[in-house]
Amino acid sequence: MTTASHASSDFTFRPRGPRILAVVLMILAGVGVVSILATSSLHSWPACLPMILVGYAAWLMFWMPRVDVHEAGVTLVNPLQTLLVSWSSIIMVDTKYAMTLVTPHRRYSAWAAPAPGVISALRDARSSAKSERRDNSGARYASVRPGDQRSSDSGVVASVVRTRLEHLAEAGALDIEATENAKAVRSIHWFHLGVLLVLVVLSLTIPAVLI
């Protein structure tokens, strides 16, 4: 289950399942905070901190992540950092555990595009085996890795990135000479990390002190 949007030649991918989970967790956290404040005195507000932590963590881990495919390259918005990987630095797109951009020096995985779990992979494997056909020569069609299935988050994004990469290569728009030295632009989410750390510390210390 995915949510993808297009703007001209750009592509933005947001996983629908995790975003639904984020909304559910944030609603539950909000209901918990309201219930505590409504049934207790204002002095009981520290008991709301774990609920606030759950809601914020749900937003950070399941709502915020996305993948942007655009003219400059591929942007991976993960919970703790954002990575901009240029087209010239990508030498392969892997889907073993998640949609992963492979460069000469490092691998960059998209939190928003994980590969299917074990159960889903087994189900897809059985489905592929049952639907396996032969071509006119009698040869079997090549099997597809579960992470490359278009029904999976990793497969959807990988297909878009590979297609865009192929078009750029055919058009001669990739700077091959810059591939070896090209590096991803990394932006750490210091603000989110700080808020998360503060909420964790407060959730563990303030309620315990007031008990």
What's the structural domain count of the chain? 1
Please indicate, yes or no, if residue 133 is contained in any of the structural domains. Answer: no
Domain that holds residue 163: 2-128+141-210
Please indicate, yes or no, if residue 134 is contained in any of the structural domains. Answer: no
Tell me the range of 32-46, 127-141, 143-157, 190-204 where mean pLDDT is highest: 190-204
Confidence band of 62 (pLDDT split at 50, 70, 90) = very high
DSSP E strand stretches across the chain: 2-7, 10-15, 66-70, 73-77, 81-86, 92-94, 98-102, 107-114, 185-188
Query: Phi/psi at 82 (nearest 5 deg)?
Result: -115, 135
SS3 sequence of 54-77: HHHHHHHHHHCCEEEEECCEEEEE
Please indicate, yes or no, if residue 199 is contained in any of the structural domains. Answer: yes
User: Has residue 134 got a pLDDT over 60?
Assistant: no
Span 182-194, average pLDDT: 95
> Whole-model pTM?
0.81
Confidence band of 133 (pLDDT split at 50, 70, 90) = very low
User: Has residue 137 got a pLDDT over 70?
Assistant: no
